[in-house]
Every structure is written in C-alpha cells, then in structure tokens.
A and B are shown apart, each in its own frame.
Chain A
C-alpha cells in the first residue's frame, strides 16, 4: 500500500475553505487521545478548553486581549510569508518594541509629561521593531545570510537585553529587588475600553490593522507584487518587481507590527516592563498566520481561536491540573494538521494497493 500525491489541475477553492476546519477537527481528536493518556476525562477537558472560556464576560474580554497581539504579529508575518521571506524572529521584535517604548515610559516617570507620551511610546515601539527586523533582512539581501537563522538568533539577544535592563538600569527602586520597572504612569498606559474591564485600545488598533492589510493585499499594486514574488518568483522577475526591496519592506512592516504589539502589551495588560511579558506570542503568531491561510480576515479568526486555547489552557490547569505545556503541544499538532490539510488544496491523495512497478534500475 502506498500513498500517492496527484497534482490537481487547479487549486481547489472548496478545500481551501474547509481545510482549517478539518485540521481543527483532527487536532481535537488527537488532543482527546492525549487527555486520555494523561488520565483526564477528554470530554470535560475539551469543554474546559473550548467552551467554558466562551461563557463568561471576563474570559471573553481576555480572549480579545490575548488575540490582539497574536493577530497584529501574524498580519505582519503573513506579508513576509506571502513574499517567501521567512521572518521567524517576531518574538524578538515584539520584545525590542516593548523595550523601546518602555524607555520613554521610564524616562518620563513622575514628570508632568502630557498625553503625548503614549502615542510617542507606540511610535517608538513600532520603529524599533522595524529596525530590529531589518537586521536579518539586510543580512539576507546584502550578504545572502539565511534570514531564518539570523532572525531567530536575535530573539535570544532581545530577551537578554530586556533581562539586563529590568535587572539593571531600569529596575524599580521600590520593587523589593524584583526584576521589573515601576508601574507606568497613567499617561503612559493604554486606555481601557470598558470601565473596570481588561479590553483596551489595542483591540481597536488590531482591527484597523486587519482592515489595512486586507486593502493592501486585495486592492493595491504593492500587495499584488508581494503575492507574485512569493508565488511565482520568475514571473515577478520578468514583471520587473524588485524581490529584494520587497523582502526589506515585508520584514520592516512585520517588525513594526510586532514591536507595536510588544509596547501595547507592556503599556496595556502588563503595565510595566518585566521578563516573561510574552507567552511566546511571536511563535504562536506563526501558527495563527498559517491557520488563517495568510489572509487578514482568516488571521483574525485564527487569532481568536488560538487566544481561546491560551485561556482554555490556563483554566484547564487550574480546574483539572492539566499541565500548561499541553497548550504548546496542541499548537504544534494544530500547525502540523493545518499544513497537511493545505497539501490537499494542491494535491489529491490516493492510496495505491497495486504491487510495485518494476523499477528500471540504473538506466
């Protein structure tokens, strides 16, 4: 028996729509098996993971709060991946954005600086993220160094820089030696949308970015160039599109969005700079980008779904003592299934039972 792939005459649009759903279904089946292995009731575990967070207002807000950075980063990454540029260092760009914006918050702390502080912080975060992402992009374009490896290495560097700052120069003098800055002033904090809630302005910014990306990809020449360079590099060369310039552009945009997500996270839900501000948003966003089929609206839905697994994972840990790592396993398996189902768009799977053909040997 042998599995054979047959190329379809053209992309299957039906499968393109249902493949993420098939992938989620397969993931849930696999997770149920994992829950049984862990000695938990799979039905109640799945309810805690996927249904319970949808039933109370606090969790719903929390899903939006967690989805915000995921979607924002994934939108940027999708541009890179569409152009066949592999930025996998969004986690580092997120941290650098957080650090750069926090610099202003720390410097203006206790002064009578006005409402301009927050917009300036967001700008700083985005610019710093873009510049940080341009390092691997320039290494790629100018010297041909693999952007995959360089962008990833810079994640560790960003992590160590943040660690140094909050343990050294920026540490809160009144913080009992904890590695954290002081709480940001109100003018350096992202405003809350609903009184007493957790939902903040970042969610609105995220929606605006989703809309902007949809317009960019669907309605502009730049968006068209990005898609052509990725899908048909030869055609793009004949068309006179500058692939190198697009690598720089997509990296800069994705870095800016990751950096913006970073400073919003710090100035919003967290409220101060400390190590561990990201539960791996930069990496989970890669899954979000693929699950959303590199499409802005798809990414919005995928981001909400993965945010749900973060919240569900936390609740499952509290309610059923299911380890938090299960969420990571879940995310990894989900990405595998998404990619496998995507293969169905281009190929037809056929099981061949016939005996093997006689191979022609060394001709």
Chain B
C-alpha cells in the first residue's frame, strides 16, 4: 500500500506544473490568443524561480520571481501579436527559442546548487491518517494552489461578467469591439495571466519537484500543457482530468523503468509524448460536429477606427 501512496503523491506532483501552465494558457486561448511560447516562459520561470529562491532562501520569493519573469516574457508576446498584429504561431515559436536561451544565461550561475524544497503541509492528526492523510493533507502548497486556481478560473469564466466579456473576445472579436469592449486590452491581460501561470509552473519544478536547476528541465512540459488545453476542449473541469492523466503516464513509466520491465528506458520515456499525439488525434476525431475551440483563436485583430 505504501507504493500506491507513493505513486499517487508523485503523480500529483508531476501533474501540478502541467495543470498550472495549462490553466493560464486556457484563459489566454479563451480570449482568442494562441501563445505557443509556454515552454519558453516555463523554462525562464524555472531559472528565475530557482535564482530567486537560492539568493533569498525563500520559496515564496522564488515563486514570485518565476511569476514575474513569465508575465514579462508574455508581455513581449502581447506587444508583438496584439500591438503589431504579428502572426501568433511564429511569435510563440520565437518566444520559446528566446526563453530557452535566456534561461541558459540566467541559470548558468545556479547549475549544481541546491535549495531546500518547498515544505509540505502538516496538520497533526489529519496528515497522519493512514493512506489518505498524506495525499489530502500533506502536499506542497503549490498543489493546493493549482486546484484553487482552476476553480477560480472556472468561476471567473462562467460566473462573472468580465469572464463573459473575455470569452466574447475569443469567440468574435469584431462583435466585442463593436459593443465597445477594449478587445486588445482584455487580450493583453489574458496573455499576461497565461505568462504568469507558465512562469509559476516552471518555478514549481526547481522549487518543489527537484530542488535544483538543470538547463532544459521543463523537457517539453510547456508543449504538453498546450496539448492539454485542446484535450480539455477549453473547459476548466476537463483540464484537471487531463493534467492528472498525463501526470500518471509520466510517473507510471518511471516506475516501470525502475521495476525493470525489460523495455528500453528510452521507449518508456517517449510514452508521454506519444500519448499526447494519440490523445490529440482521438480528441480531434471525436469532434466531428464542429470544433469547440474559441472561434477567433489565433486570428489577428486590428481594430478599425
């Protein structure tokens, strides 16, 4: 039973960066902007998050550094795609290339250093309940934060007026503009929220997942987060299911490698990526009655005056 508990704990930890990054991207895409730079913002968030925590000795300051770094990078993207009406796909790729380079520069001084990982919650009595105690009451704070975040995003998108306006911008920017809503400003906020989330998701990796920084440590998680948004059909609830499913695939293949099932480790490591391809195909195929994507997703909008 201890193995089951350990597996569930590690699945939750592996899913959390995916969930946080995908939550941010979901809001961005709901506003009609496709930001493919998640991987780049995550890796810079990881470098800045580790740097902040290492210099200050505080996990919270590290997390804030990651958030700010991600938001600043996404602001460049917003200026390009919203201010200058540049193609969003190409700008997102540029952001990823830039982010990978920047993270290498920033992180060069920190490689090989270690920090104290984020403390886990401990409530005497509750955390000590066998089996479910540690799973429910003994996680690191980011895991609770990620769940609170997705609930807040769901509430914002479906239960508030600004959320409705944001979705309107994503579905028909011309109508939203005609009604007098500042489409570009709303989209800028959405992009920056996505950037802040990606930065936090990246910072989670060195702050809580592995207590050190390695160049390229996001290993494609940003891209998987993008795929998760498609998998979730742009619905917050399904995002949680998707993130935990992918976390489970990642962890189970690691355990299978550890158990030595006789399959080369590289094939097991390829599983999360192959699973992403297969899931994308299945999901896209199931949607024969038209796409559920925001109608204006990825299209350039230049307001007429």
Contact = CB atoms under 8 A, between A and B. Distances in A.
Interface of A: 3-5, 7, 38, 86, 88, 135-136, 139, 143-146, 148-150, 152-154, 156-157, 160-161, 163-164, 167-168, 283, 286-287, 290, 323-333, 335-336, 339-340, 342-343, 346-347, 349, 359-363
A345 to B, nearest CB: 11
A139 B180 contact: no
Interface in B65-121: 76, 80, 83-87, 89-91, 93-105, 108
Contacts of A135: 277
A361 B180 CA distance: 5
B280 interface: yes
B254 interface: no
A326 B180 contact: no
A144 B233 CA distance: 14
Contact of A160 (B84, B105, B178, B267): B267
Contacts of B264: 164, 168
Nearest to B165: A362
Given A332-B95, A343-B84, A153 B220 contact: yes
Given A157-B273, A339-B90, A343-B86, A328 B226 contact: no
Nearest to B220: A156
A160 B271 CA distance: 10
B86 A328 contact: no
A325 B101 contact: yes
A335 B270 contact: no
B98 A146 contact: no
A22 to B, nearest CB: 13
A333 B223 CA distance: 21
A355 B180 CA distance: 17
B230 A146 contact: yes
Given A329-B105, A332-B95, A86 B302 contact: no
Interface residues of B, number: 55
B285 A5 contact: no
Contacts of B281: 139, 143, 145, 150
A195 to B, nearest CB: 37
Nearest to A286: B93
Contact of B266 (A136, A161, A329): A161
Given A88-B93, A362-B179, 17 more contacts: A5-B302, A136-B277, A145-B277, A145-B280, A145-B283, A148-B36, A150-B277, A153-B276, A156-B220, A160-B269, A160-B270, A167-B266, A283-B97, A324-B104, A336-B76, A336-B91, A340-B86
B105 to A, nearest CB: 5
A329 B119 CA distance: 34
B94 A336 contact: yes
Contacts of A149: 223, 226-227, 230, 276-277, 280
B94 A152 contact: no
A340 B302 CA distance: 15
A347 B180 CA distance: 23
B270 A328 contact: no
A144 B219 CA distance: 26
Given A163-B266, A332-B95, A362 B180 contact: yes
A153 B277 contact: yes
11 contacts: A145-B277, A145-B283, A152-B223, A160-B267, A286-B93, A328-B100, A332-B97, A335-B98, A336-B80, A342-B86, A363-B179
Nearest to A327: B101
A7 B179 CA distance: 22
B276 A143 contact: no
Contacts of B96: 332
Nearest to B39: A152
Contact of B84 (A5, A167, A286, A327): A5
Contacts of B223: 149, 152-153
Given A150-B280, A153-B277, A328-B104, A340 B80 contact: yes
A336 B78 CA distance: 12
A323 B108 contact: yes
A339 B93 CA distance: 11
Contacts of B224: 153
A347 B36 CA distance: 24
Contacts of B182: 359
Contacts of B95: 332, 336
A323 to B, nearest CB: 6
A152 to B, nearest CB: 5
B101 A330 contact: yes
B14 to A, nearest CB: 16
Contact of A326 (B40, B105, B269, B276): B105
B273 A156 contact: yes
A360 B305 CA distance: 13
Interface in B164-188: 178-180, 182
B12 to A, nearest CB: 23
Interface in B34-74: 36, 40
A153 B178 contact: no
Contacts of A347: 84-85, 302
Nearest to B94: A335
B145 interface: no
A153 B270 CA distance: 9
B273 to A, nearest CB: 4
A183 B216 CA distance: 29
Contacts of B219: 156
Given A5-B85, A347-B302, A332 B98 contact: yes
B176 to A, nearest CB: 11
